[in-house]
Structure 1
């Protein structure tokens, strides 16, 4: 991909048509890593059975909570019981790394940064929120419309993420999605599927942009 009329900086080189990413830089290595993650995620089937337990696992049997300014909806014992009674299946390392020590062994997976390409799947809220992170990092190599759409998706997903969490956000205008109940889990899974559908073309757009960058598409 060549930016016509651009000015080179440390990550870019001049060409006859303008400016392009220097293939020898660390930024190029980063774009290759991102593309690999996006492609492996897109190729994997989506799972919709986690019911947002990652947020609950972050406060499971903990003396304190991450967001101390916000109260929990349930008592500590009731919160722990929700985790104990529901399967914890988090595939996203940047969520899993905040699990309490007591919650980590309960997760069916043990994600690591090194295995990120092997674990992420397109139904995951955090993987789909990350599309904004990747789009922003890749600017101006991707269209600003894609960046804006990814931001809008991330904002909407984060709203569900916190509404389904153990925190009480009613005073801030966010009614809970009560994933501790069958009705709440059904509501969560339906929203998760809708977000995955919105995320799919954005992920494909990022992959296509990265393909143009290295000349493979």
Structure 2
């Protein structure tokens, strides 16, 4: 692993402090809600569906190729994957195991396929509507939140508009009644062929791609992906059938032509924001796999 950057103790501490402050804007409120047993229909998703614990999200990692100077850097040795050299503390290339290499190859293959594909903006966020279509009250995911149009009105929207969800991890939560209405039949095996850069969930999943690579992705990039996921999740739920006014969210009423136009504009902007992050993750994956191959 080529060392490309040497950080003094003051430099890496400043980066660490900045990352911790940045992530605690989201992790601290989540921990307080959790301690009180409160649910949040928008933000909990970032810590439940996505499995990285808040403490790990807050933890700063320099990423590969960085030397940490100073006596305080030795505390990184208490974490898995670090070693001490004559220059300072660095990520241990031996910690990039064959198992992690397989994960990286899979991630790279998916990211490259998505990045090469043209974005599509014709789904209008109907996936959340399809998740409650003709559902009995006990089957509604966010049962503590009312539906803006009621159950019958929600069903009419799904029956009227064309459901075009291509992302398996959204489709798998559709009600059984909604699945036959979808233009696509996504599967895990077909994800590489169907995922496309206009999809909100594909944009959010950049965060998952980043944290699955653990300390081999610098925390600054992880934080960028997380913040993108936060912003996308807000649109995802504002365009949903739920009435989130109690939580301070105004609706994007995709049941109207104006609401659909608003959704598409914001969807396209998120696709543009996601593209450079996907490029960075692709570059990191390639470099990690090249280094791993050269070590064998």
Matched residues, number:
216
Cα separation, 1, equivalents of 2:286 and 2:121 = 29
Structure 2 CA distance for partners of 1:14 and 1:163, relative to 1, 3 Å: same
Name the counterpart of 1:119.
194
* Runs of 4+ in structure 1 over 3 Å off: 1-15, 21-24
1:34-45 maps to which residues of 2 (within 5 A)?
34-45=107-118
Structure 2 CA distance for partners of 1:97 and 1:8, relative to 1, 3 Å: same
1:175-203 deviations in whole A, cap 9, x for unaligned? 00000000000000000000000000000
Matched, 1:49 2:114: no
Larger Rg: 2
Name the counterpart of 1:94.
169
Structure 2 CA distance for partners of 1:67 and 1:23, relative to 1, 3 Å: same
Query: By percentage of residues, which structure has more helix?
Result: 2
**What runs of 5+ residues in structure 1 fail to find an aligned partner?**
none
Please point out which of 27, 30, 33 is paired with 2:100: 27
How far 1:139 sits from its partner (Å)? 3.0
How well do the aligned residues superpose, as a CA RMSD in angstroms? 2.4
**What runs of 5+ residues in structure 2 fail to find an aligned partner?**
3-63, 68-75, 292-296
1:145-156 maps to which residues of 2 (within 5 A)?
145-156=220-231
Cα separation, 2, equivalents of 1:56 and 1:11 = 43
Name the counterpart of 1:207.
282
Asked if 2 retains the 8 angstrom alpha-carbon contact of 1:11 and 1:27, the reply is: no
1:58-69 maps to which residues of 2 (within 5 A)?
58-64=131-137, 65-69=140-144
TM-score, with normalisation over the residues of structure 1? 0.91
1:142-195 deviations in whole A, cap 9, x for unaligned? 222111111111000000000000000011110000000000000000000000
Asked if 1 retains the 8 angstrom alpha-carbon contact of 2:165 and 2:171, the reply is: yes
Structure 2 CA distance for partners of 1:39 and 1:14, relative to 1, 3 Å: farther
Cα separation, 2, equivalents of 1:151 and 1:74 = 31
Q: Secondary structure at the match of 1:140?
A: helix
Asked if 1 retains the 8 angstrom alpha-carbon contact of 2:81 and 2:91, the reply is: no
Matched, 1:73 2:135: no
1:3-26 deviations in whole A, cap 9, x for unaligned? 4678699889999x9621566532
Cα separation, 2, equivalents of 1:63 and 1:199 = 36
